């Protein structure tokens, strides 16, 4: 299984400044295929900004991001390569979930049948005809995940995908992500729900104040007798 050590996503010295505020500072880490990588950090640590730079939504002030060895700034986004979910779900509240996904499928050149497939995968088929404005937070979350899965991508980048999901939804998502990793695909997710993440991820990247403070396999932490939560609290200065 050579793919297990191939870096698919690379952040190389990513820095993002908004005026005087540095949201991300010289952030470097890699994400391998065939694994679920957890991206953790306190509120305001720069996780979402870093994920946006990794997928090309935000331009780094310095540094570069690579997807499959290609610099993101010269890459054309493709739903078949990278599926992204970054809050909020990016659907107009006046349109139905199905209409939203159909538009994305049209833009991506994907068949309409794929929309019904992903609606079934995320468990939204019954609510697909309703306006997104009437959805609960968990349903919007599922819709965002459906959009990310639309192109059946090789790489999934998910920002706080567990937020708002009920226990059944969380279990479903865990299974889905583990299946993706088992297929040799790449999953990078951020989360604050460490107890759940500990059951899902293989690798761990922890950021604090815009910098990487730890990267490595979850098993390394476990071998040291530390839980993910305890390690996180130690690394980020919490107690």
Partner 1 sequence: MALLRGELGKTLGTRTFYAFLFGGAGFSLLNAVLVAEASGTLRVASQKAEALTTLPVLLMVWGLVGAAGEHRHRTAAPAALVAGRGRATVLLARLAAYAVTGFGLGAVMIGAALALGLPLLRDQPGPDLDVAQIRTVVLANLAACVLSAIMGAAIGALIRNQIVGVVVLLVFNFAVLPLISGAREGLANLTPFGASSILSGMTHDTTLSITAAGAVFAAWTTIVAGGALTSERRRDLA
Sites for partner 1 among residues 143-202 (CB under 8 A): 147, 150-151
| 4, 92, 112, 168: residue in contact with partner 1 (rule CB under 8 A) | 92
- Determine contact, residues 96/119, Cβ cutoff 8 Å: no
Q: Locate 111 and state its tokens.
A: 């068949």
Binding residue for partner 1, selected from 71, 77, 216, 237, defined by CB under 8 A: 77
Please check whether residue 63 is in contact with residue 27, taking contact to mean a CB–CB distance below 8 angstroms.
yes
Question: Is 84 among the residues that bind partner 1 (CB under 8 A)?
Answer: yes
- 150 with 115: CB under 8 angstroms? yes
Distance, in Å, from the CA atom of 223 to the CA atom of 135, rounded to the nearest integer, reads: 42
Give the Cα separation of 127 and 203 in Å (integer). Answer: 35
- The span of 77-85, 177-185, 206-214, 224-232 binding partner 1 (CB under 8 A) equals 77-85
> How many binding residues for partner 1 (CB under 8 A)?
32
102 binds partner 1 (CB under 8 A): yes
Rounded Cα–Cα distance for residues 33 and 185 (Å): 5
Enumerate residues 11-40 that contact partner 1 by CB under 8 A: none
What's the full length of the chain, in residues? 239
Is there binding between residue 59 and partner 1 (CB under 8 A)? yes
Does residue number 52 form part of the binding site for partner 1 (CB under 8 A)? yes
Nearest approach, Cβ of 170 to partner 1 (angstroms)? 23
Kindly report the number of other CB atoms within 10 A of residue 227's CB atom.
Answer: 14
Query: 27, 79, 194, 212: which one contacts partner 1 (CB under 8 A)?
Result: 79
Least distance between partner 1 and beta carbon 103 (Å): 5
How big is the CA angle at 61 (ends 17 and 148), to the nearest 5 degrees?
90
- When binding is defined by CB under 8 A, the residue of 31, 65, 67, 104 that contacts partner 1 is 104
67 or 198: whose CB is closer to partner 1? 67
80 Cα distance to chain centroid: 15
Backbone angles phi, psi at 6, to 5 degrees: -85, 120
- The residues that touch partner 1, with contacts defined as CB under 8 A, are 52, 55-59, 76-79, 82, 84, 86, 88-95, 99, 102-104, 106-109, 147, 150-151
């Amino acid at each position: 299984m050579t793919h297990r050590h191939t870096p698919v996503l690379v952040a190389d010295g990513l820095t993002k400044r908004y005026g005087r505020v540095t949201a991300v500072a010289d952030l470097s880490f890699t994400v391998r295929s065939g694994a679920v990588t957890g991206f953790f950090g306190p509120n305001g640590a720069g996780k979402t900004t870093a994920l946006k730079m990794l997928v090309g939504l935000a331009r780094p002030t310095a540094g570069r991001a690579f997807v499959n060895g290609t610099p993101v700034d010269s890459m054309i986004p493709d739903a078949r390569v990278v599926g992204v979910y970054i809050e909020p779900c990016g659907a107009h509240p006046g349109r139905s979930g199905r209409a939203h996904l159909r538009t994305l499928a049209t833009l991506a050149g994907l068949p309409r049948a794929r929309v019904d497939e992903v609606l079934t995968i995320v468990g939204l088929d019954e609510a697909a005809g309703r306006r997104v404005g009437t959805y609960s937070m968990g349903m919007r979350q599922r819709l965002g995940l459906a959009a990310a899965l639309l192109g059946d991508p090789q790489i999934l980048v998910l920002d706080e995908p567990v937020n708002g999901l009920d226990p059944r939804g969380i279990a479903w998502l865990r299974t889905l992500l583990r299946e993706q990793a088992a297929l040799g695909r790449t999953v990078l997710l951020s989360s604050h729900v460490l107890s759940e993440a500990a059951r899902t991820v293989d690798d761990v990247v922890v950021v604090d104040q815009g910098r990487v403070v730890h990267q490595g396999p979850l098993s390394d932490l476990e071998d040291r007798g530390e839980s993910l939560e305890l390690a996180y609290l130690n690394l980020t200065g919490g107690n």
